[in-house]
Chain A
C-alpha cells in the first residue's frame, strides 16, 4: 500500500526536519509526499480601499513567489532523489487546510515541524500543532 504523507512546509528549518522525517517514512513504505504550503489568510480581515484594489495583483505575486520557492527547489530536489511528490499551495488557516488537504488526498498521515527554539516560532507552530492534535482526520506526527 502506497500511503500519502502530507507535510506542512513553510521553508523553515523545523519544516525541513519534518520533510526529511516524512521522506524517510514514505520511502520505507513506497509512499508519496504531498508538500503543503499555506499562506495565512482570513477572509474576515480588514483592508483599505487601495488594498482591495491591489489584492488580486498581490495574491498573484504571492502565489508566484511561493510556487517558485517551493517547486523550483524542494520539489525538484525530491524528484531528483526519486521521491514522488506533489505540491499544494493554498490560502487560509494552516491547521484547517492541512486537515482538508489530508482528506482530499486520502493521506495516511500529516507531518509538521515544531521549532522549540524561538518563542515566536513556538507560538506559531505550537498553535498549528495544537489545532492539528484536536482536529486532524488522520494520525499526526509533530517533529521536534
Chain B
C-alpha cells in the first residue's frame, strides 16, 4: 500500500517542480555551496588533528572522557546494570508518585531523541569509510560512553530547575552554573553560555539538518531523484505544525510508533543475521581483524578507530550533554537513580541497534573486497566500494533490501519517523539552550522555532558531506564544554553514588511491593 499511496503524494508535489528542473537543481547547489563555505572554518577547528598526526583531537577528548568516568566510577556500567533494569521496571518507584514522570518515560523519551539516523545512516558511513573494524571501536565507545551518560544525567537531575508553576527542566547549562557555584569554582556561567551556543548549533545540525538530509535521500531513493528542498519544505511544515502550532497529535503518534519501529528494525536485522548464520563467524572475524589491522582501509587501524568512535558518539550522544536535558524531568528523590537508568541508553542505542546495522551491512556483503581479501576503495579513494555505489542510509537500505526485498519501504517509513522524532527532541534541546541565553518569552521562543524550521529546508537541500561535517562538529563542540564540566563535578556524583549504594546495601532504600 505504501508503495503506491505515499510516493504518489510526493510524486504529485514533485511533478509541479519538475517543469523547471534546472532552476530547482540550482537552488540545491547554491544552498549547498553557501552552507559549505560558511561552516568550513568551524568544522576544521573541531576536527583538526594532533600536530603531525592524522588523529583528530576531539575523538581523543571523548574517549579519554569516557575512560576517566569508567575508571573513576569503578566500571559502574557493568556493576549497576541489574539495578538499572529494576529501576526502569519501577521496582523502586513510590506508588504515590503515579502520574509523575517515571524512569521508563524519561529513558524512552531520551532514547527517541538519540535513536535516529545515527543508528541507520551514521553506522553505514562508519563502516564504509572505516571498514568492518569500525564496528569494534563503535561498540567499545558505546560501552565506555555509558559511564559518561551516567555522570551527566545524574547531574542533570540534581541541578534541575523546578519552577513555581510545576514545570521541571534541567540540563548542562544548569549544572554548569549551579554545580560550579556550589563547588566555589569560577567559570560555570561562561561554560554554560558556550554550551548553550553549541547546543543550538547541534540542534540545527545533527538534530535537524542531518536528519532532514537523510530522510530526503531515503525518500528520493524510492520515488526517484527530485530536489531536496521540496522534502525540506514539507518536513519543515510538519515540524512547524508541531512545535509552533502545538499540534500534539502528530508528536504523540510519532512517539508511539517510533519504539515499535525500533523493535521492528532490530527484529528484522536479527532475522537477516539468522538467515546468514553461516557467515556470523566470518563477520566477527572481519570486525576484529579490521579493528586492529584496518584490512587495507583508508587510514588503516586508526581510520577504523576514528570512524567507530565518531559514529558512536554521534549516535548515542554520551558526553554531549543533550540527554541530560531529557532525563532531568524524572520524578525521583535520588538524582543518581536517573544516572543508573540513563546508562542503559548508549547500550540500547549503540551496542544493540548500531551493531545490528553494521552486522547486516557486513553480512550481506555490501562492501566490495578484492581478490586478496582487502577492501577496494571507490574512485575518489575516500571510502570502500559498495555493491551499488551507495553510502549513508542508502547503503543500509541496500543491505536490508538484498535479504528482504520489500524492507527498504518499511525502512523509508522508519527513517522518516526516526528523523522526525529526533527533530522534535532536538528542537526542545535547542529551545532550552536558547531560553537559557535569551530568557523565556513567547516571541523569543518563536524566533528559535522558525530558525529551526528554516534549517530543515537547508538540511534537506544540501549535500551529505558538508551537512555531516557540520553536524558532527556542532555536536562534538557541545562535548568539549560538557566534559570539562563533568570533570569538575564528578566528585559530587561520586558522593551521591557512594551514599546511595551504602543505603541500598543497608536496606534503607528498598523495593516497593
Residues of A within 8 A of B (CB): 39, 41, 43-63, 90-92
Residues of B within 8 A of A (CB): 90, 93, 95, 98-102, 104-106, 108-109, 112-113, 162, 165-169, 248, 251-252, 255-256, 258-259, 325-326, 329-331, 424-425, 428-429
CB-nearest residue of chain B relative to A62?
A: B99
- Set of chain B residues within 8 Å of A50, measured between Cβ atoms: 428
- Set of chain A residues within 8 Å of B101, measured between Cβ atoms: 47, 52, 55-56
CA distance A34 to B167 in the complex (A): 32
CB-nearest residue of chain A relative to B168?
A: A56
A91 contacts B98, C-beta separation under 8 Å: yes
- Set of chain A residues within 8 Å of B112, measured between Cβ atoms: 46
Q: Closest CB-CB distance, A96 to chain B, in whole Å? A: 10
Across the interface, A53 reaches (CB within 8 A) one of B100, B102, B169, namely B169
- Set of chain A residues within 8 Å of B108, measured between Cβ atoms: 46-47
B165 contacts A57, C-beta separation under 8 Å: yes
A52 contacts B106, C-beta separation under 8 Å: yes
A48 contacts B109, C-beta separation under 8 Å: yes
CB-nearest residue of chain B relative to A89?
A: B99
CA distance A91 to B326 in the complex (A): 23
Interchain residue pairs A-B with the least CB separation, the first 7: A57-B166, A91-B99, A43-B102, A91-B98, A52-B329, A49-B428, A46-B255
Given contacts A56-B331, A57-B165, contact A49 B326 (CB under 8 A): yes
B105 contacts A45, C-beta separation under 8 Å: yes
Given contacts A53-B168, A57-B166, contact A46 B256 (CB under 8 A): yes
Across the interface, B424 reaches (CB within 8 A) one of A44, A48, A59, A63, namely A48
A49 contacts B168, C-beta separation under 8 Å: no
CB-nearest residue of chain A relative to B243?
A: A50
Given contacts A49-B425, A52-B109, contact A43 B255 (CB under 8 A): no
CA distance A55 to B424 in the complex (A): 17
CB-nearest residue of chain A relative to B424?
A: A48
CB-nearest residue of chain A relative to B257?
A: A46
- Set of chain A residues within 8 Å of B169, measured between Cβ atoms: 53
- Set of chain A residues within 8 Å of B325, measured between Cβ atoms: 49
CA distance A39 to B248 in the complex (A): 20
Across the interface, B98 reaches (CB within 8 A) one of A43, A47, A51, namely A43
13 inter-chain pairs at a CB distance below 8 angstroms, sorted by A residue, are: A46-B108, A46-B109, A46-B252, A46-B255, A46-B259, A47-B105, A48-B424, A48-B425, A49-B109, A49-B425, A52-B330, A54-B166, A55-B168
